[in-house]
């Protein structure tokens, strides 16, 4: 009898282990916010809004919630698509409510925990406030935060979700934005080939072309695209010819003429998936973007000094072979895990049918 009982218990343990493995294979497990070992300390104060499973899940539901827009058709995830590095792939500028066109290319929602200012011009200084712009923008969601909160309060599922996440059924603007932040904080891209090489993981190494490209990058690009975020978070004029709208970038926020045509340095992570490039999406390929630095820069009073060479030429000297190697290195910044992480993916089901 004892032998039978022991055998039964062993079979139960084996089944439980197998069942656990099946779960691990089929679902992404939530571990909360984890700082990558090769990343600096986050800029976001996690002590005032710690990422919890319930808070994250609420934020995820809100991120993909079309009721955030005036006519319940546009969600944050409409212009920030996971497979495109949370950008609006294929669109030079954002397409919002009623298919209205914005004026800038949506920046990726990626590694925002390390940013302290947001958007191309840095017009928002707190991640918790970043959603206000999109909700109130006439060409994005064309709604108001008070109306959004009224719509959420009218849905039977949301009070309970806020209760689980924050201990209260009250749906306030502060808790609404904190939940959204918890989702965005988890959008961390840190598992590219580059990261594995930097962490000296077993079997991770650059090819000869990638290594040459990395050296070229360090000598010519790293001042602005600082590792490991591949942005120094500054605002620079990189010689882009002004478009018809004459977007003056950072100067719109600061009112300082010395900031005219300066835009936030974008990250180069997942570059292959975030086309088109620049604040107005004018370049469709990485190759064309690099050619801009080779022979298509425009001089102005605020052009970054890094692009003025001793002989008076503008840009970055780059041969065809160097360009090929640099593009090979940039490919090492792709993070398939981030682009397919089920934790960040849009949920499907009746809960997201608007009525």
Q: Write out pLDDT tens, residues 96-149.
A: 787 888 789 889 999 999 999 999 999 999 999 999 999 999 999 999 999 999
DSSP for 200-255, written as a single string: T-TT----HHHHHHHHHHHHHTTTTS-TTTT--S-EEB--PPP-TT---BTHHHH-
Nearest to 109 by CA among 331, 329, 344: 344
Q: Determine the Cα–Cα distance for residues 203 and 263; give it in Å rounded to an integer.
A: 38
**Sequence spans of domains, the chain:** 53-189+338-352, 193-334
Question: Which helix (DSSP H) or strand (DSSP E) does residue 49 occupy?
Answer: none
C-alpha distance from residue 352 to each of 67, 70, 168, 272, 298 (Å): 10, 16, 23, 30, 47
Mention the CATH class of domain 53-189+338-352: mainly alpha
Per-residue pLDDT of 216-270, as tens digits, reads 999 999 999 999 999 999 999 999 988 878 999 999 999 999 999 999 999 999 9
Q: What pTM did the predictor assign?
A: 0.86
Cβ(315)–Cβ(294) under 8 Å? yes
Packing angle between helix 157-166 and helix 173-185, nearest 10 degrees? 70
CA angle at 229 for the pair 62 and 35, rounded to the nearest 5°: 65
CATH architecture of 193-334: Orthogonal Bundle (1.10)
d(CA 349, CA 74): 17
* Domain 53-189+338-352 matches domain 193-334 at the CATH topology level: yes
> How many CB atoms within 10 Å of residue 192?
20
Separation of alpha carbons 164 and 53, rounded Å = 10
């Amino acid at each position: 009898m004892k032998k039978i009982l022991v055998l039964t218990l062993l079979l139960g343990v084996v089944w439980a282990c197998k069942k656990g493995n099946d779960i691990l294979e089929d679902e992404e497990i939530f571990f909360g916010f984890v700082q990558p070992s090769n990343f600096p300390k986050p800029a976001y104060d996690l002590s005032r809004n710690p990422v919890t499973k319930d808070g994250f899940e609420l934020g995820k539901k809100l991120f993909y919630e079309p009721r955030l827009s005036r006519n319940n058709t546009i969600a944050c995830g409409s212009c920030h698509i996971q497979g495109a590095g949370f950008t609006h792939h294929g669109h030079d500028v954002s397409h919002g409510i009623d298919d209205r066109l914005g004026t800038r290319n949506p920046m990726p929602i990626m590694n925002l925990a390390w940013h302290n200012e947001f958007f191309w011009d840095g017009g928002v200084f707190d991640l918790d406030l970043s959603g206000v712009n999109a909700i109130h923008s006439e060409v994005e969601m064309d709604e108001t935060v008070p109306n959004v909160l009224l719509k959420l309060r009218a849905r039977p599922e949301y009070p309970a979700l806020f209760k689980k996440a924050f201990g209260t059924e009250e749906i306030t603007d502060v808790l609404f934005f904190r939940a959204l932040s918890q989702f965005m904080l988890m959008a961390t891209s840190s598992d590219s080939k580059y990261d594995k090489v930097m962490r000296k993981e077993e079997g991770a190494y650059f090819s000869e072309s990638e290594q040459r490209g990395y050296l070229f990058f360090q000598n010519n690009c790293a001042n602005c695209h600082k590792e490991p975020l591949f942005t120094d978070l500054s605002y620079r004029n990189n010689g882009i010819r002004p478009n018809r709208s004459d977007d003056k970038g950072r100067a719109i926020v600061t009112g300082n003429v010395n900031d005219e045509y300066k835009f936030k340095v974008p990250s180069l992570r997942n570059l292959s998936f975030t086309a088109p490039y620049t604040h107005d999406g004018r370049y469709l390929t990485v190759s064309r973007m690099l050619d801009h630095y080779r022979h298509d820069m425009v001089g102005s009073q605020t052009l970054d000094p890094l692009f003025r060479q001793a002989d008076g030429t503008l840009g970055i000297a780059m041969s065809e072979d160097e360009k090929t190697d640099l593009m090979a290195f940039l490919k090492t910044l792709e993070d398939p895990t981030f682009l397919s992480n089920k934790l960040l993916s849009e949920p499907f089901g009746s809960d997201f049918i608007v009525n």
